[in-house]
Amino acid sequence: MNCQNKKAFSLLELIFVVFIGSIVIVYSTIYSKEYYEAQTLNQEVAIIKLDLDSAKIIVEKNLPSSIDDLKYSDNTLYFKNNTLLENVNYYSLRKLSSNILEIEVEVDEKIKQKWVFKLWKKLLHYFRYLF
């Protein structure tokens, strides 16, 4: 009878191990899927931020002439007839005063940025080359 109890206990242990092992595998699979989706979203947002930073640098580098070179149509922002940003949901360019320019851009309904540029130094630099 002692041998029967050992077999029953071993079978019970095996059932618990299989049950707990299957729970661990299921939850680790769910966690891995969620982690992958989160990392994919983080990668997309990082790429959009990089594109926005690059666009900001291009606009800032070419001030004040970039004011006239920026065009927005069909959810795309163009600079000198070349694509600067795609999937642009919102774009606004305003002169707050004679020397401050504000540009608002929203891309993919995920990231919205407001760029503020001071034009007076750039204008002085620009006028030096005109005269």
* pLDDT of 7 strictly over 70: yes
- If phi > 0 it is left, if psi is from -120 to 50 it is alpha, else beta; for residue 42 that is alpha
Most confident of 4-13, 26-35, 59-68: 26-35
Give dist(CA 24, CA 42) in Å, integer: 26
Residue 100's H or E segment, with its range, is strand 100-107
Residues 6+ apart with CB under 8 A from 83: 76, 77
pLDDT tens per residue, range 39-60: 999 999 999 999 999 999 998 8
- Report the residue count for the chain: 131
Domain count, the chain: 1
Per the CB < 8 A criterion, the answer to whether 101 and 94 are in contact is yes
pLDDT at 37: 96
Closest CA to 85 of 76, 93, 94: 76
Compare 131 and 64 and report the one with higher pLDDT: 64
In the predicted structure, residue 130 carries a pLDDT above the cut 50: no
Q: Report the pLDDT averaged over residues 102-110.
A: 90
109: containing domain: 2-130
The strands making up 82-86's β-sheet, listed across from edge to edge, are 70-73, 76-79, 82-86
Q: Does the pLDDT at position 127 exceed 70?
A: no
Q: Summarize the confidence of residues 104-115 as an average pLDDT.
A: 90
